[in-house]
Amino acid sequence: MFALFFMIAFVTNFAGSMGVIVTNQFGATKALSQLGTLANFIAYACMGIPAGIILKRKGYKFTALAAVIVGLAGVAVQWISGPAESFAVYVVGAFIAGFSMCMLNIVVNPMLNTLGGGGNTGNRLIQLGGSCNSIGGTIAPILLGYLVGGSLDNASVKDAAPAMLIAMAIFALAAVIIALTKIPEPHMETPEERASRLAGDVRKDHYGPMSFRHFVLGAIAIFFYVGIEVGIPNTANIYFSEIPWVGPALTGTMIGAYWFCMMIGRLAGGAIGGKVSSKAMLTSTSLAAIVFLLCFIFIPETAKIAMFGKELPVALVFITACGLCTSVMWGAIFNLAAEGLGKYTAPASGIFMTLVCGGGIIPFLQNVLADKVGSVESYWLLIACLGYLLYYALIGSKNVNQDIPVE
């Protein structure tokens, strides 16, 4: 499950980092540069509920194996877009890869929560798995920034070919490993349930995940959270890469550091997850992220700080620090929203994955604003989203539907 978490972030963050290249090769606006990310996450909206059904009927192993095969195909299509010099082909590849990422998320989150027995221990395993996710997220933008180099002048999709080949190799290896690995199936339908379903003798359940207020509000929180997590580095990547004295290589390194900070935060979250509640984690990190983004907005881009032998924009340092905040939000929200769902956990995961499309929609809307009012000012949208997460942590996460039977 931890290895699959790594793959999710590597491929997803690769799509986000490609926005830097398409602004040069295809002359895309800031908003259009996010089409790859948008396509990747819109796939979640299309596949979230079907993937939950596949998980229920076919189990974790089948779903995971199908996901990596689809992912291999998606990255291959993106690789073809280089020689074809087609932005449309690249977007299609990102869309296909998004199906894979959705299916993998459907597998890893409920599995880790189940292995931990729910509660704080379930949150702890999700945080540790998220650390592996952050490693993949850290490598992708640094690798792409290195491949592009210090200038955007000649950047093209072909430059990213080595990274795509690495991603395809990872998927191929994962397919072999999953095929040979025995994976427990705690949520797969029983033979009796399957026979009843095929016979059409399925009793109507008057309840479902959407019957729980805290889950509905949590699903909305996931929509905003993933948009925040992706929007913070993606928009900053394009903005700072275009500044001559910063450039794509240095920016890519700092964006990679953002994901590295997420790894540090998730390791810390995993260490203290059994002692600190998900509510406290989400409250504190939402407040801190709002403060960091306010610092980014009001500190001029010309302000510099010497770090690691280089001059860095102070504002970019605050963007990187946001990774410490976004690190534990996913696990905290998932844990709060899934608490007390019982037998509705598997279909709830499908709904959750559908709302992950916020990771494409929010950054796209943010960059529409960036084209209109400026990249820095567009971060006010993310501050508003963080305000909702704060509300969910303090008020919306309370389970007010404990009278619903879940066994």
pLDDT band for position 330 (cuts 50, 70, 90): confident
Residue identified by tokens 């690769």 is: 14
The mean pLDDT of 234-238, rounded to a whole number, is 87
Condensed to tens digits (0 to 9), the pLDDT of residues 179-214 reads 887 777 766 776 776 777 677 665 566 788 888 999
d(CA 323, CA 269): 13
Condensed to tens digits (0 to 9), the pLDDT of residues 277-316 reads 889 999 999 999 999 999 999 998 889 888 767 788 899 9
Residue 32 clears pLDDT 90, i.e. is over it: no
d(CA 145, CA 216): 38
Residue identified by tokens 């709830």 is: 348
How far is C-alpha 199 from the chain's CA centre?
A: 39
d(CA 391, CA 186): 33
Dihedral sign, Cα of residue 46, residue 130, residue 249, residue 237: positive
Tokens, residue 208: 């479902």
Tokens, residue 91: 């977007």
Range 256-285 burial, b when 16+ CB lie within 10 A, else e? bbbbbbbbebbbbbbeebeebbbbebbbbb
More confident residue, 57 or 160: 57
d(CA 400, CA 186): 27
3-state SS, 4-57, equals HHHHHHHHHHHHHHCHHHHHHHCCCCCCHHHHHHHHHHHHHHHHHHHHHHHHHH
Dihedral sign, Cα of residue 63, residue 64, residue 68, residue 71: positive
For the chain, domains (ranges, CATH) are 2-182+209-396 (1.20.1250.20)
Contact 367, 235 (CB under 8 A): yes
d(CA 124, CA 271): 7
DSSP E strand stretches across 242-336: 304-307, 310-313
Contact 336, 214 (CB under 8 A): yes
Name residue 312's beta-bridge partners: 305
pTM of the predicted structure, to 2 decimals: 0.76
Contact 329, 278 (CB under 8 A): no
Tokens, residue 278: 């998900």
pLDDT at 56: 79
What 3-state class would DSSP assign to 120?
helix
Lowest mean pLDDT of 51-55, 114-118, 164-168, 388-392, name the range: 114-118
